[in-house]
Structure 1
Amino acid sequence: MVEVRLENLKKYFDGGKVKAVDGVNLTIKDGEFLVLLGPSGCGKTTTLRMIAGLEEPTEGRIWFGDREVTYLPPKDRNISMVFQSYAVWPHMTVYENIAFPLQIRKFPRDEIDKRVRWAAELLQIEGLLDRYPAQLSGGQRQRVAVARAIVVEPDVLLMDEPLSNLDAKLRVAMRAEIKKLQTRLKVTTIYVTHDQVEAMTMGDRIAVMNAGKVLQVGPPTEVYLKPNSVFVATFIGAPEMNILEVSVADGYLEGRGFRIELPDDIMEILRPYIGKGVLFGIRPEHMTVEGVSEMSHMRRTVRLRGRVDFVEALGTDTILHVKLGDELIKVKLPGHVPLEVGKEVTLLLDIDMIHVFDKSSENAII
């Protein structure tokens, strides 16, 4: 296992017109599970392919420990990769699929057998070694692909949306198994996904990407609680953070038909913005409805009057769409909440969980 270091990594296509990766600086610690998270086209897979040696950087350097691998072919990097498609060979048995990377490295036969059975046992497919891929379910084929990747004991394990072809229930089970496996093996792992739930539940750290750049890197809870920009704030979390245009006055935020009173400590941070427009953010789960669902952890709250516009009953949660002045916001409450459309409600905002962003740069102020 090694530390992976990316220095000013760039990849341009079409003569430089398309900037797929635009100056990524990132260190993945030895034994860490790092998730590259972002929407389609953000550059996360291209970054992964450069780490693997499948794409050559336009600029920048890639290090595995103290060894530069920027222009080394994949076979000289001691990496393994699990793709979105299972990429298991249909004419080979499960045993032969797992053994193949060892065979091309010319491992002794007894060592191949030992490693194949070790990997199969870890992935709980030891009873499937004589089967062909056509006889396996999607989840079983993905396990074969992971077993084939770890059997060579790579320095770096790369995964490119490996669960996206599985159904929702199996994805939940497999992401837990992959995380437990990585923790047990302690292999440096870089995992690409657009699914923020996967990122939050699996990653030791998340690197959020957009437009070829890394916008924020940190532990999942930190990225969730302290997003550094509007993009990160709205990409992490479901439902996404409410973002409203407001103006800063002395002691409060003025919105379209509503006012949010501010305590002195928050007002002191926003004082340079008095008279200016900013973006106010609050996550749906950091609000509640007075008299309906109390939250004891809220130390300081602000009351706002609103009217229920729509109700999403999800069973475990209820998402209220509430008309707040001229704005529409979402409020996420636990359990079933018997509120009807049109009902007037008092919202309680956790003032310690609010976010304020600069309107022009969209970077966080609070």
Structure 2
Amino acid sequence: MVSVKVLNASKKFDGKKVLDDVTFEVKDGSFTSILGPVGAGKTTLLRIIAGVEFPDNGSIYFGDKDVTMIPAKERNVAMVYQTFALYPHMRVFDNIASPLAIRGVPKTEIEKRVKEVAELLKIGHLLSRYPRELSGGEAQRVAIARALIKKADVYLFDEPLTNLDYKIRESMRGELRRIFRELGGTIIYAASDPLDTFTMAQYVVILHRGKVLQTGTVEEVYFNPKNVDVSRILARPPMNLIDAELKVRGDKYILDMKGVEIDVSHLKDLLKEKEYIVGIRPEHLFFPTGEERKVISFPSTVIVTEIEGSESIIHLDWEGCKLMMYYPYIKRLAPGERLIVSAKLKNLYIFSKKNGELIARYSREVA
């Protein structure tokens, strides 16, 4: 195991900047997710850490060793790509064994390690099959086994669940969490789906348009997103963002969202602008009973309801503003149905309209 430091790394392709002054550190033995939308630069960053690509500027350290210009074969890194890339003419056993065979490891040692990693991934019954005889989930397990057999210092995963269907992805997250817990090691996992990050990672690096927006534990970044972009990237569904105008009435400071007013007088020392964005997470919207206190409500119209497994994502229209609500059970609502959803004041986020930076949570100031 080893820590990984990326310092001021930049990379261009055909004049286009893919990574822009990227800096972060991955702790020895930790599981860190690099989370960002498609095109954020995640794959390029992993390839630079692996030594397959080299940065135009900046440095890569494994522990205290500068490995920036050391090629991949000398870094003891294992990488699993988005595509499984198994050798079609080889049985599963030989696919898993291939990194060791290339190194000239004795056959008895290869056999021992293949059996060990196959047991870890519960694929011992597949060793005699060819890739064409595997399901998507089985093929991904084989690709992961081939990476793990190297006993690398650093394991890199480039969105390995992306090409699997919903149910397989769901079960594989649980499997990978178990495997990584038993394996140990320093793991860097690129993801565009925040569920991968929530389910498996300890730490997260938010990457957007080639820049690092925020780093920290998953919980720290989730509860205190630095800006609007982070609030939408580390969220599923993305945070609802509503424009608001600051109004001063005597000694009262009010944020007005299309007629829904919030008293923010306790935050007046932080509120120096005229326009803001109020953020409400979809899981913080609920159907009110009338007994709740310190809430705001949105009389809305149902657009559509998405059922994902045993959960529902309800799309709503409120005064021309699109809202999303997460409901932890199956809830079937008809398009056009009228209803009221509410949110507790303590769960609101207030962002600057000018630059998108987080100014405060309603219940707590942000330093």
After TM superposition, the score normalised by the length of structure 1 is: 0.90
In the alignment, which of 308, 312, 316 is matched to residue 317 of structure 1?
A: 312
Aligned equivalent of 2:299: 306
Aligned equivalent of 1:96: 94
- Structure 1 residues 334 and 186: alpha-carbon distance in aligned structure 2, compared to 1, 3 A threshold: closer
In structure 1, the gaps of 5 or more residues are: none
Question: CA shift at 1:307, angstroms?
Answer: 3.6
Contact 2:298 2:342 (C-alpha < 8 Å) held by counterparts: no
Alpha-carbon RMSD: 2.2
Instruction: Count residues in correspondence.
Output: 353
Contact 1:256 1:327 (C-alpha < 8 Å) held by counterparts: no
Question: CA shift at 1:344, angstroms?
Answer: 5.9
Contact 2:302 2:314 (C-alpha < 8 Å) held by counterparts: no
2:356 match: secondary structure: coil
Identity across the alignment (%): 40
Question: CA shift at 1:92, angstroms?
Answer: 1.3
1:249 counterpart = 2:247 = yes
Contact 2:305 2:332 (C-alpha < 8 Å) held by counterparts: no
- Structure 1 residues 12 and 106: alpha-carbon distance in aligned structure 2, compared to 1, 3 A threshold: same
Aligned equivalent of 1:261: 263
Distance 2:298 2:77 in 1: 56
- Structure 1 residues 343 and 103: alpha-carbon distance in aligned structure 2, compared to 1, 3 A threshold: closer
One-letter amino acid of the counterpart of residue 102, structure 1: L
Deviations 1:268-318 (A, max 9, x none): 432x33xx11111111221323227x77xxxx6233352434352636336
Question: CA shift at 1:337, angstroms?
Answer: 5.9
Aligned equivalent of 2:323: 329
Deviations 1:227-255 (A, max 9, x none): 11111112232332111111122321012
Contact 2:30 2:185 (C-alpha < 8 Å) held by counterparts: yes
2:32 match: secondary structure: strand
- Structure 1 residues 269 and 349: alpha-carbon distance in aligned structure 2, compared to 1, 3 A threshold: farther
Aligned equivalent of 2:143: 145
In structure 2, the gaps of 5 or more residues are: 361-367
Contact 1:260 1:302 (C-alpha < 8 Å) held by counterparts: no
1:362 counterpart = 2:356 = yes
Distance 2:82 2:263 in 1: 48
Distance 1:336 1:152 in 2: 44
Question: CA shift at 1:179, angstroms?
Answer: 1.9
- Structure 1 residues 303 and 175: alpha-carbon distance in aligned structure 2, compared to 1, 3 A threshold: closer
Distance 1:134 1:336 in 2: 36
Deviates more, 1:126-135 or 1:182-191: 126-135
Question: CA shift at 1:320, angstroms?
Answer: 5.4
2:205 match: secondary structure: strand
1:42 match: secondary structure: coil
1:348 counterpart = 2:342 = yes
